[in-house]
Amino acid sequence: MRRRDTTGPRSAPALGRRVFLAGGLAAAGTALAGCGPADTVLSGRQPLRQWNLFTGGDGARMVEMHAAYRKAHPGIDFQPSTFQWGNPYYTKFAMGAAGGRAFDIATLHVSRLRGLGVGTLISPVPTDLLAEHGITRDTVFPNIWDKCTIDGELYAVPLDTHLVVTYYNRPVCEQAGVLDSDGQLVEIRDENHFFDVCAAVKEVTGQYGVVTDTTHAWRPFWSLYRQLGGEMTLDGELGIDDDKALRALDFLRRLSEEGLAPKASDGAATPANFQNGIAGLMLSGNWELPTLKDAGMDFGMRPFPGVYGEELGQGDSHCFVLPVRREPDDDAVAAAVEYAAWMLKHSITWAGGGHIPAYMPTTESQEYADLQPQSDYRHAAEDVQFDPQAWFSGSAAQLQADAGAIFTGVHTGAVTPEAALDRFKRTAQDLIDTPSPV
């Protein structure tokens, strides 16, 4: 197998890559990570070890896409491994990447790039090679591509955007008179309008107007704070706009205190409450879509409500990254980059789970336009609000966990917005003062 230094000037495509492009995948199933077996070497197939954190509905769609990839690539010995979502996966990723022999390509959240060793554990993506497969900044949502770019180097290939959106029970909202002439939920004009809509919906359900995951209150908080123009810096001294943060937290307090939303609703109970008709609106991630579809609900979706201006919603992006290698391997990098490009080009399957594909030819296709209600919130990807940058920030990171634990008390009434903000600021500063473990 030919090897070269992938960090220096890149030479013309190698024979190994051309042979690889003519090939495809091997047997079905999920393989354990590790070096390719002996029959791989004897057969001449290129090994490709992939790590991901997709279970549940996302996992089922990933398996479906991988099955199609195998069928199209019989010359590749594809070995995917799925690990538990969240900190277990990211701990495994850091240990595996540090070892230098765990995977050829892995899935991450874009928000975790800086905290997981950009340049030390994660290698830049060769954009010239990626462009050979038709993936450039012009084919991907530019804001997502730019988020994957650090110090002028592309460190990840974005697969999607996922973010908090608004779900609405169509029959309930029709009865409440809050649908527009096209049968979609009316666009929220301001804070008072949102509370009026929730009150109208509550009149129909007899219980609540809206339900939101009170244990993950960071997501709506960050959405509202960003709509207000709030900035947050997590370097040296915490930078936060107290007035805007208090206004966002007071919004959460009002929802529960005025009886428009449950004071407590965790991740599992929230879609169940919405599905059971306890509330006619739900503020949650677009990843809940398959559950509601499977339940046969008549529902619609639109971006997170523009309570304080634009419909900005907190979110993230799943992406593919390459490890820093102890020994540069041109053929392994070529296989990994082609795999990432193939997944982007076939991401209409991924869109079925609610995520917005990052590959614009997919989201601009008629096939995607026919996906309902996914296509109704496509434009939200252009304005997704990523978490503030820090090694402890992002999906499944400590900042989200700590903020959720603190802000849930605002919903229950256990703490005031002022007390919650003070506690959050102390906690965030403690995290800032803690050195990164990577």
pLDDT tens digits along 237-293: 999 999 999 999 999 999 999 999 999 999 889 999 999 999 999 999 999 999 999
Task: Give domain 163-314+386-432's CATH architecture.
Answer: 3-Layer(aba) Sandwich (3.40)
Helix axes 242-257, 398-412, angle to 10 degrees: 50
Residues 6+ away with beta carbon under 8 Å from 292: 167, 271, 274, 275, 299
Question: Crossing angle, helix 218-227 and helix 398-412, to 10 degrees?
Answer: 90
pLDDT tops 70 at residue 335: yes
Name 395's Cβ contacts closer than 8 Å, sequence gap at least 6.
Answer: 109, 111, 112, 316, 387
Which residue, chain included where needed, has tokens 């030479």?
A: 11
* pLDDT classification of 98: cutoffs 50, 70, 90: confident
Class of domain 15-158+318-369: alpha beta
pLDDT digits (tens, 9 = 90+) for 192-202: 999 999 999 99
Res 89: pLDDT? 92
The dihedrals phi and psi of 149, each to the nearest 5 degrees, come to -105, 125
pLDDT of residue 389 exceeding 80, the answer is yes
Reference 76, options 29, 35, 115, 40; nearest CA is 40
| Contact yes or no for 185/179 (Cβ under 8 A) | yes
pLDDT in the model for residue 299: 98
Q: Report pLDDT for 42.
A: 52
pLDDT tens across 16-73, in order?
333 333 333 333 333 333 444 444 455 689 999 999 999 988 999 999 999 999 999 9
pLDDT band at 83 (very low <50, low <70, confident <90, very high): very high
pTM of the model: 0.88
Residue ranges of domains in the chain:
15-158+318-369, 163-314+386-432
Residue of higher predicted confidence among 328 and 80: 80
Binned at pLDDT 50, 70 and 90, residue 180 comes out as very high
Q: Is the CB of residue 359 less than 8 Å from the CB of residue 140?
A: yes
Tokens of 164: 């908090």
* 177 DSSP 8-state letter: T
Is residue 129 within 8 Å of 333, Cβ to Cβ? yes
Please give the helix or strand (H or E) that residue 349 lies within, else none: helix 348-351
Residue type, 392: F
Q: How far apart are CA 403 and CA 406, in angstroms?
A: 5
The whole-angstrom separation of Cα 39 and Cα 42 is 5
d(CA 60, CA 26): 19
Give me the mean pLDDT over the 313-336 stretch: 95
CA atoms within 13 A on the CB side of 45: 22
